[in-house]
Structure 1
Amino acid sequence: MSSVRTSIWRRPRGRDARIGGIVRIDARTKNLTKRLRPGDIAVINHRDLDRVSAEALVACQPAAVINAAPSTSGRYPNLGPGILVAAGVPLVDAVGDTVMTAVTEGQHATVDGGSLLVAGQAVAHGALLDAAAVEAAMEEARAGLAIQIEAFANNTMEYLRQERELLLGDVGVPSVRTQIDGRHVLIVVRGYHYKEDLQTLRPFIRDYKPVLIGVDGGADALVEAGYRPHLIVGDMDSVSDDTLRCGAEIVVHAYRDGRAPGLERVESLGIKDAVVFPATGTSEDIAMLLADAEGATLIVAVGTHVTLIEFLDKGRAGMASTFLTRLRVGGKLVDAKGVSQLYRSRIGGPWLLLLLGVGLAALVVTMAATPGGSAALQVLLSRWDDLWSWIVGVFS
């Protein structure tokens, strides 16, 4: 059945083509992608669809995506809609919040142009976006980017006034059992290009054996790449049960007042020694603060936010905390792309000896395969016998 659905998803469609599929609906896109299958119709409510969410949707190969909210509101040039359209996934935009109750999970529905039909009746209607429409929206959003930069700066200053201790004082970092002092730390967030960066960093991980910290779904990313995280940090809303049970130390991100919604889930899995870290900001922030406070010599970040567009693309006012956290950890923090460009794998002595041995073996085989080489090899062996006899005679 999955192969049939995949072939449907890959077939080019015109704007008037009717597309059928099973409805998968969720207001949180990252939750929806966990159960979205090739050929399904994804119904989301995601204002300013970001790049990471769009790439996750494309990876699931849906027949179409129906967005209750505007995929681009004009606040800033978000990249998500362009990724979906470029991948050939029909995107019906801004159909309205009523679609979230007009359809139910598991229903069969049809997309006809900009309309979503259930049992032949239209339950939602919006704009079927194409490349031209997406580009026009991007141009309009770029024109208003200066306003968003100003708003981001004001938000950052307000956050700094309220959370001065993040930069200047003690943020109440709890102690953990994992030994971090004096070691490199690799923090993985399931964000921008995390798979490619993890692949590039394999020599670095092999040689330096850093402490591996997965932030929520970033822990799954480490497991998928063949590693076991030492620490899992986050509110535990997007990491799998299997990964939580892998033996890693758990640090639950809690609100400032101590409420930790993720702690109940962790304890329900039989994990009783989880550490609670009450702090404002995002889970990737507290992972960096934890590594810094525990004495990490270098913090390498995978999938985290680097550019202004990435900060805005995250779509939350609290991204100011991430900006300030980067100021605090400062000299220790390196983005994964920088490590991959600057780092070159070290070749140890044993590997050099092995390489030399393989080369000599290949030379001997080559010489033995030809008459002239065989004669030369016999001469060399004779000289070696003479040398060895002389050495034995000296020491005897």
Structure 2
Amino acid sequence: MIFVTGGAGFIGANFVLDWLAQSDEPVLNYDKLTYAGNLNNLASLKNDKRHVFVQGDINDSAQLCALLFEYQPRAILHFAAESHVDRSITGPAAFVTTNINGTFELLEAARTYWLSLEDDARADFRFLHVSTDEVYGTLGPDDAAFSETTPYAPNSPYSASKAASDHLVRAYHHTYGLPVLTTNCSNNYGPYHFPEKLIPLIITNARAGKDLPVYGDGLQVRDWLYVTDHCAAIRRVLEAGKPGETYNVGGWNEQTNLSVVHTICELLDELQPKAEGSYKDQIKHITDRPGHDRRYAIDARKLERELGWKPKENFTTGLKKTVAWYMANDVWTKQVQSGEYLQWVAQQYNEDEVEE
């Protein structure tokens, strides 16, 4: 069995679904079910005995230890995190609590459990920490892409909290010998993506006839990674990664935010044309957010060179699949666009929802 934290969120849920589509090894799925954690993401597993769901907080060390000793997983895959930059600006405390303190509690529970294992099981155990390229800071237009040796320079409360969690994971390997693996990924997109983030926000707003908000000039650059490619990379790192190592996971798809918005509009113009005009008519440039990083780019050559992984989807194929998924899943979108989400949007953007 593997133990997945945050397995009802966007990347975590996609990972659990992909894992059980390719393996009969059971998953213990541990998720707090905050606003972005959604059991509807896992509806297809409702009667699947290979999927054991437990609602809980990674800051609950007693529950973590109890579950680890009861289920005896061979690996922990740590997805659970607060992940939205804008939310970290307005409410940084939750990011410290979950991303830093929560990772510490999980590491402590994992260390206690790992030390209790017999020799072979202890040698085979892995703790895989899923992180972000945002820990590296920002790049200039001509700077080389982030590598695994790029110095950390986080610029938002979110990225600072993830950088801290990365450092804790590294320290537990070097101090205690815990066999850890860290992955730092670029911007993910795909099915089940909560619509506060750029791509699902633009898709859902466009189809609802709302403004398509773009920060500043929209020329901020991100590398885009289709979520199932990311899941495949994590499986490969878990299978063959060297303990203590970091692996960058990227899609080799640098795009400006404005280009992403234009491409979505063009796809919708083709797939669901408006009675008049283009979806591009709904684009609205809004005030840039504080400390907005200008460019991220991932050099994923280490992962390809050492473990043989590279993405299958390019941005065109991945985005077409993503738009098609949202068009086919209106019920899911309506369910998540309610309650706390709508209240937060009204407070944060005065009805002009945003990105990333």
- TM bucket by the smaller chain? under 0.3
Q: TM-score, normalised by structure 2?
A: 0.26
User: Which structure has the larger Rg?
Assistant: 1
Structure with the bigger RCO (C-alpha within 8 Å, sep 6+) is 2
TM-score for the superposition, normalised by structure 1: 0.24
